[in-house]
Amino acid sequence: MSVALIWIIIGVLLILSELLLTSVIAVFLGIGAIVTGLLLNWGVIESSASQFAVFGIVSLILLLLARGRIKKWFMGYTADDDEGKPNFQKDIGSRVTVVNDFVNGTGRVTLNGVRWSAYSEDELKAGETAWVVSNEGIQLTVSRVQPPAAE
């Protein structure tokens, strides 16, 4: 088996490995290996040093120039790119239903069909309506009195 064929096989394997690895780097290394194999086969390069130099230079140039553009094809949609990404502040002022009586200031409420742990200084009973005053991640602070509308 010739050295040129080995380079080409390694290149194809690197490109195929990109199906398992979503880093979008192996494909450029694969193209670099294929270019090296082709140049070696055509007699343009011969020494081991020139083979590794061509492989490195072609891979690096492709990586720097094309990775950003091509990576978008592999990544698809992500929630982080969405303008409507979760914002805990959007729930402030929302109406909630008390699920469990508040004991020592803590209880459970339902907001948009989801049950939340909640804190309140008011004595709230199951079935009552309350309003979200603040949101500290996984716990809401609620009140019997609706907060003023934010401007």
HSE-CB of 11 using CA atoms within 13 angstroms: 20
- Please state whether the predicted TM-score (pTM) of the whole model is above 0.85: no
Provide the pairing of β-strand 95-103 with 129-135.
Answer: antiparallel
20 torsion bin: left (phi>0), alpha (psi -120 to 50), beta (else): alpha
Share of the chain above pLDDT 70, in %: 85
> For the segment 8-65, what is each residue's pLDDT rounded down to a tens digit?
999 999 999 988 876 778 989 999 999 999 999 999 999 999 999 999 999 999 999 9
Q: Please report which residue ranges of the chain form alpha helices under DSSP H.
A: 3-17, 26-41, 48-75
Q: Looking at the DSSP assignment, which residues form a beta bridge with residue 143?
A: 131
What pLDDT score was predicted for residue 88?
A: 60
Residue span(s) of the chain under CATH 2.40.50.140 come to 88-143
CA separation for the pair 43, 62 (Å, rounded): 23
88-143 has CATH 1.10.150.170 classification: no
